[in-house]
Amino acid sequence: MPKLKNKSAAKKRFRFTAKGKVRGTQSGKQHGMIKRTNKQIRNQRGTTILAEGDAKIVKKIMPYRLGS
């Protein structure tokens, strides 16, 4: 059986925590900041732990988990 490959796009966007949870950037920060409140913008800084359903998809496309 050939080895599976990690998706390059997923490698660039997601990391795994030590417990195996998926960490990714906050959503809703690409454009349209003028509509958002300052509190919203402030709270969306940095990264967050993905929801269980989204994490399942990421784990499937990254069979060899990178960066704990």
Number of compact structural domains in the chain: 1
- Does 44 reside within a domain? yes
CB proximity list for 14: less than 8 A, separation 6 or greater: 22, 23, 24, 50, 58, 62
CATH number of the domain bearing residue 15? 4.10.410.60
Q: Is the pLDDT of residue 23 over 60?
A: yes
- Does 36 reside within a domain? yes
Confidence of residue 1 (pLDDT cuts 50, 70, 90): confident
Note the pLDDT of residue 61: 93
Note the pLDDT of residue 67: 57
Mean pLDDT of 39-44: 94
State the residue range of the domain holding 34. 8-61
CA distance 55 to 15: 11
Predicted TM-score (pTM) of the model is: 0.80
Identify which has the larger pLDDT, 68 or 10. Answer: 10
- Does 20 reside within a domain? yes
